[in-house]
A and B are shown apart, each in its own frame.
Chain A
Amino acid sequence: MGLSTLFASSIDGLTLGFIYGLAAMGLTLIFGVMRVINLAHGPVIMLGMYTVFVLTTEMGMNPYLAIVLAVVLGLLLGVVMYFIAVHKVINAPELTTLLATFAVNLMIVGTATVIFTTTPHAIDVQLPSFQVGPTTILGTRIVAVLIAGIVTAALYYFLYRTRTGKSIRAVANNRAGAELMGINSSVILGLSFGLGTMLAAVSGGLISTLFAFSVLSGSVYETKSFVIVVLGGLGNPTGALLGGIVLGVLEAITTIFMPVAWVPVIEYVIFVLILLVRPTGLFGAR
């Protein structure tokens, strides 16, 4: 194994990790604001993939334009999901919200299975690739990372610089206190849920330009999101981004030393160990 292999794998891992991190940020944002673990996160990632798929193959739209539509759809879907399935049980014990979001998961996956069946699909995106020394970096990867970067920057701007964003952070810190300050917490909670699912949809849209996918792919990336969220500390968006990069690089580098099939074993063992030893994650809670 040469340095160049290590370099190529690291670049691969970095780019992928960034995109995984985006989905995980959505999951952790929802948890941070309302203490709900959204078990319908994977299906939303999958819907992001299929939105792009349908728009590009059926309507001939540019895949990156389709991702913009996936953003809007993801946001709306989350708001609807919140008010139908979560709002009524927002103060109930965790079991209730886990099951409510899982019910949504079943509905989305079931409907998508009826429409698309479970055969894999792929989107063909033609972009030039770049040469860095001996390493080839695919153009699709670079554009995906750029989009992920823009979305992240916009999210941080929104959360820290706008009035609504500040309200979200206030509700996350202390919902009762925020309500006393005249913030309509129901609207803010719905919006936060929508932002979380929006990130999932974008991430799914970006993944669809890189890999083949099926209706069942959502759960693969959802479990990755869980691992990342726990790595970064539940409720900590920056932690999720860093956690994503850690996981991406870890995945890419371990495959140099051992068969690919062992990677998930290592991932899940790390996941359980961190939950046990350091439940606040590597980078602390939010």
Chain B
Amino acid sequence: MRSFRNLSFWLILLVVALVALLPTLADSAALPFLTNAATMRENLFLLLMLVTLASSINIIMGYTGYVSFGHIVFFGLGGYFAFYLVQTYSVNVLLAALAGGIGASLIATLIGIPVLRLRGAYFALATIGINEAMRAFMNNFDPFGGALGMFFNYAVYDSYGGAKNAGELAYYAMIAVTLATIATSFLIKKSKFGLGLLAIREDQDASQVLGIDPARAKVIAYAISAFFPALAGAIFFFKNGIIEPGIAFDLQRSIEGLVMVMLGGYGTVTGPIVGAVVYDRLRSALITSPPITLGSLTVNLSNFHLVVAGILLLLVVLFVTAGFVGWLRNRFPAVRRFLE
């Protein structure tokens, strides 16, 4: 595990942890200039979730070269499993999240064995199909509440010391999940297993000649990349208190995850983090911006975030294929030591 002696590894984790803990530092009056700690915590919670999602997608898409368009399916599955356990059997949410993560990984393994045989566009289409099938199924699956979904009775939060404390627990759990995702992503990239994945991405047939078992490596990578979104889903919906198929299996969110990975730089550890932060900040800036008036026409910018996301994505795809971090690494080789 040479990665543990790598400066970059600790640097990335430290920066993410520090940013994530800003509201807590503000609460303890160490940072008096931060006044809206509560709002900030809400924003960071969502941002950390996006980082987890993007980093996980990067493991299968960036390292292995398989574009999982419907990756949100694991977020939804983890959310549903954990929600059901918490609601019906009063399982502790952390245990339930773990169970949801393991469940999602198992399903990813089962799905992955046949589906990862498909290449390129066929795989991408199949993952869309799987997500849509799962959403349609949950719409009809009565034990999980069907199309209406499930919602908590507020008494659920009592065993965590009320809704406020439960929210804080979810927040710290999300930080832990995000750090674990980033650490895993780093360890994979620097391991022999990760090099095998990169070889598969470049040329699957050649990788086989080098003694890599692509079928096995791909399924393992897919199972790992399913685990963390499931944890994030479990925590997100626990805090949310409601889960329904439309939110849990939202293809739009899945594809936004891909956009973040591309924006930051696919195949890098920090790329998805940077991409998630940039995309999220940009979106919220657009959503909260006041409407502008052009002559007699009033344009509400809050609806415009999709257009901006599209333009950004197109520019990145056409001109900066390596993404922001990839571009930095190519342009300034010196930063490669710090910016993995």
Which residue numbers of A lie inside 8 Å of B, CB to CB? 31, 35, 37, 84-85, 88-89, 92-96, 98-100, 102-111, 113-114, 117, 219, 223, 226-227, 230, 234, 259, 261-262, 264-265, 267-269, 271-272, 275-276, 279
Contacts and interface: CB of A to CB of B under 8 A. Distances in A.
Interface string B237-263: 000000000000001000100110010
Interface of B: 61, 65, 67, 69, 114-115, 117-118, 120-122, 124-126, 128-130, 132-133, 136-137, 139-140, 147, 251, 255, 258-259, 262, 299-300, 303-314, 317-318, 321
7 contacts: A84-B314, A100-B318, A102-B258, A107-B314, A261-B140, A268-B136, A279-B122
Nearest to B251: A219
Contacts of B299: 114
Secondary structure at the A interface, as helix, strand, loop or mixed, is helix
B122 A103 contact: no
A88 to B, nearest CB: 5
A106 B303 contact: no
Given A103-B314, A275-B115, 13 more contacts: A37-B125, A89-B318, A92-B321, A93-B65, A98-B67, A99-B313, A102-B313, A104-B314, A110-B304, A110-B305, A234-B122, A265-B140, A268-B130
Nearest to B136: A264
Contacts of A37: 121, 124-125
A179 B42 CA distance: 57
Most buried by B among A99, A102, A105, A227: A99
Contacts of A259: 140
A275 B255 contact: no
Contact of A276 (B118, B121, B124, B137): B118
Contact of A94 (B124, B311, B321): B124
A107 B306 contact: yes
Contact of A272 (B129, B312, B314, B321): B129
Nearest to A31: B121
B80 to A, nearest CB: 16
Nearest to B300: A114
Contacts of A267: 136
B118 A110 contact: no
A276 B140 CA distance: 25
Given A107-B306, A113-B303, A275 B125 contact: yes
Most chain A CB within 10 A, of B65, B137, B314, is at B314
A272 B133 contact: yes
A110 B306 contact: yes
A114 B132 contact: no
Contacts, number: 131
A99 B262 CA distance: 9
A61 to B, nearest CB: 24
A194 B117 CA distance: 32
Nearest to A96: B317
A220 B308 CA distance: 23
A106 B139 contact: no
Nearest to A226: B125
A204 to B, nearest CB: 19
B133 A85 contact: no
A32 B124 CA distance: 17
Contact of B304 (A105, A114, A223, A227): A114
B313 A271 contact: no
B313 A276 contact: no
A226 B118 CA distance: 16
A268 B129 contact: yes
Contact of A275 (B129, B147, B303, B310): B129
A228 B69 CA distance: 19
Contact of A223 (B61, B117, B128, B147): B128
Contact of B118 (A114, A265, A275): A275
A-B pairs with the 4 shortest C-beta distances?
Answer: A110-B306, A106-B310, A268-B133, A110-B307
B77 to A, nearest CB: 15
A105 B125 contact: no
Nearest to B302: A114
Contact of B124 (A35, A98, A106): A98
B313 A88 contact: no
B99 to A, nearest CB: 25
Nearest to B319: A88
A230 B67 CA distance: 18
Nearest to B138: A265
Nearest to A265: B136
A89 B118 CA distance: 22
Contacts of A108: 310
Contacts of B300: 114
Contacts of A226: 125, 128-129
A88 B118 CA distance: 26
B138 to A, nearest CB: 9
Contacts of A264: 132-133, 136, 139
A114 B303 contact: yes
A103 B310 contact: yes
